[in-house]
Amino acid sequence: MKRLTTIFFYVLTLGVAAYAVVAYGFLPLGSLVHPEMKLNFLTHQLGIYTHIFAALVALSLSPFQFSSRLRHARPQWHRNLGRIYLSVGVLIGGLSGLYMATFAYGGWLAKFGFAGLALCWLLTGLRAYQAIRLGDIQAHQKWMLRNVALTLAAVTLRIYLPVSMIASIPFHLAYPAIAWLCWVPNLFVAEFVFIGSNKKIPLK
């Protein structure tokens, strides 16, 4: 079961990262988003590309942060990847995400949803960094679990969007709800399934 969970985690994170490379690196900006969002993308290109680049870094590195093999065999690699994850992925990604939230499609509900995601991402990343600086490994792991759960909002967002289309939910109704659904349940799962139950993080 642990092996399947690990494989699933790697496939989801690296799969969405690969999608981002194709969608934003090789296709015209906004070509794969809803037409009503395309104008925002074209108007705020620097913010979009900055956020996508940082999120790509965070997604690509997130599975390796829970690899006990890497921590034990290459502790310096774990530390260096963690620094890149937090400084580039979370810090830059969170700040650019906060900026992007101000013009998110879907009105105030979507704006507050994505702003909340960005702020929680930044806060949990800061707490994870502070914990490891104090040598509190257990607290660091818990804050990192919360943080990566928020990183996975990039994955759940891309699951909910096609599901809402299949369910024939109008985009203007679905998107504001997804702005919250893409991260709040993730945080609850991290908190109550793994942290609250004192289960080990299911990765090797």
Contact 40, 103 (CB under 8 A): yes
Q: Which residue has the higher pLDDT, 175 or 192?
A: 175
Tens of pLDDT along 97-128?
Answer: 999 999 999 999 999 999 999 999 999 999 99
- What pLDDT does residue 65 have? 85
Q: Which residue has the higher pLDDT, 172 or 8?
A: 172
Is the model's pLDDT at 201 over the cut of 60? Answer: no
CA dihedral 80, 84, 87, 93 (to 10 degrees): -160
Contact 15, 62 (CB under 8 A): no
- What pLDDT does residue 198 have? 57
- Report the alpha-carbon angle 120-76-125, nearest 5: 5
> Residue 180 and residue 100: Cα distance in Å, rounded?
15
Residues composing the chain: 204
- What pLDDT does residue 202 have? 47
Q: What is the mean pLDDT of residues 21-42?
A: 85
Q: Retrieve residue 95's tokens.
A: 């700040």
Q: What pTM value is reported for the model?
A: 0.89
Tens of pLDDT along 155-177?
Answer: 999 999 999 999 999 999 999 99
Q: Which residue has the higher pLDDT, 1 or 80?
A: 80
What's the chain's average pLDDT? 90
Tens of pLDDT along 73-92?
Answer: 888 998 999 999 999 999 99
First to last CA, the chain: 12
Q: Which residue has the higher pLDDT, 179 or 10?
A: 179
Is the model's pLDDT at 203 over the cut of 60? Answer: no
Cα–chain center distance at 125: 12
Residue extents of the structural domains in the chain? 2-195
